[in-house]
Structure 1
Amino acid sequence: MDWLSTLSSGGTVEWRRAVVALLVAFGLTQGIAGVYMLTFRGLSYSRTIVQSMAMGSIITCTLMLAVGNNIAAGIGVAGGVTAIRFRTTMRDPRDVVFVFASLAIGMASGAQAYGAAIAGSVMFAGASLLLHVTGYGSRRQPDGLLRFVAPAGQAGAESAGAIARILREHCRTFSLVTLREAAQGTVMEHAYQISVHHPDLRVQLVTSLQGVPGVEDVSLMLQEPTLDL
């Protein structure tokens, strides 16, 4: 064990402090990663982002332990980090916030500021869960954009009543956003922003409109603001 004593400048106490700091950083960021997985909404879920939270905290904690109060070591570490080019881009700002929170916890643990690390992680996790449960920042958006072609002139006036009745029956709200002539004025292209009473009524809405005489090319493009394709 002489070689181990030689490598550890501060004795076994320094090793114990390092192990405790690394375990605290890893454990706290596991909680942050769990909150991220619980509150994630979208399609572009990345397992590597979750893993990078835990690994990033270990790295920052190790750097803080290595630097300590040594200014020269801190300058050297800063120079080494700036030499590394991180080309990975994150499309969601929320992912950046979670990764940055994990790095901050690792820094606090490496500085042995365990109170700040624990309080910060608990506050961050609690705030994330609260914002997720309350839906803070979300706005009611239309379910989708409804497009179809209807006859113009007298034939269009006859089908307009049936179209309005179907929209009122299936939609909570509907708003005409585009109305233009097509096929040399023989038909009119309609575009509505709609919100249906229930998702199950979307198919019935399209089917009902297709049954109106003269109505063709019915399409409903759904939009989900929380999903990232």
Structure 2
Amino acid sequence: MLESLFTSSVTETLTIETTLSVIFAALLIGLFISMIYIKTRGKEGYSPGFTITLIMLPAIIAIIILLVGNNVARAFSLAGAFSLIRFRSAPGDPIDISYVFFALAVGLACGMGYILYGALFAIILCSVMVILNLTNYSKSKTNNMQLKITIPEDLDYQDCFNDILGDYTQSFKLLRVKTCDFGALFEIIYLLHLKKDINQKEFIDKLRCRNGNLSIVLNTEILDEKTYLV
């Protein structure tokens, strides 16, 4: 009895009942995924349009699978149609991308008729996401930051901030140096680990006095030396 619940409900001949059941099941699972996404990503912020996309995507993929079926000609036709569509967007958050693949997998399962498999997969993975969020598994316990300082060309960038950085950071590393404004200015980028309970404003004020009150940017979401702004 239990095994029969996990068999495909889609036959070679589509019916209205089968199609509607697959679409509504995909929409409901997509809604569940979207709600979990909102719950786990609420503190970091999220795009309202992306939450709607998570609802629609499983149903879209499911109906595509239903239409293609075992027909190779339809599959090539749909592939040609989708190749004409170009998606232009900024690189997304890795977690958002994983949710997109999550929704795609659920849509594929529903489209093939394995609705209960798709629901089971969604429940398990969403439970894992909730547990990871509650335990703050992905939260960085370090205080790594990126410091970007603009200095005049006559200031030696190699050692000019070492004393200040030594007082306010546990460690620091010079990542990159580049010229700007036709060589009149230097832009230097540090990866640093601030000490606990320091006054960031006081830290920046001392840097401003040293660099002649030019631009200073302190990015607080930098995790390693490969993650810096260009």
Q: Deviations over 1:168-208 (max 9, x none)?
A: 55x24142538x9xxxxxxxx98754333468721111224
Q: Secondary structure at the match of 2:86?
A: coil
Aligned residues: 194
Structure of greater Rg: 1
Change (3 A) 1:194 1:118: same
Give the whole-Å Cα distance in 2 for the aligned partners of 1:197 and 1:176: 15
Which runs of 5 or more residues in structure 1 are unaligned?
Answer: 1-9, 181-188
Equivalent pairs: percent with the same residue?
Answer: 18
Retained in 1: the 8 A contact 2:146–2:228? Answer: no
In the superposition, the TM-score normalised over structure 1's length comes to 0.61
Which runs of 5 or more residues in structure 2 are unaligned?
Answer: 1-10, 178-186
Retained in 1: the 8 A contact 2:36–2:126? Answer: yes
Alignment RMSD: 4.4
Give the whole-Å Cα distance in 2 for the aligned partners of 1:217 and 1:113: 63
User: Aligned residue for 1:184?
Assistant: none
Structure that is richer in helix per residue: 1
Q: How does 1:141-160 map to 2 (within 5 A)?
A: 142-145=144-147, 147=149
Q: How does 1:1-229 map to 2 (within 5 A)?
A: 14-40=15-41, 45-67=46-68, 71=70, 74-84=71-81, 85-89=84-88, 91-92=91-92, 93-132=94-133, 133-135=136-138, 140=142, 142-145=144-147, 147=149, 164=163, 167=165, 171-175=168-172, 177=174, 193-197=191-195, 201-209=199-207, 216-217=212-213, 220-223=216-219, 224-225=221-222
In the superposition, the TM-score normalised over structure 2's length comes to 0.61
Q: Secondary structure at the match of 1:134?
A: coil
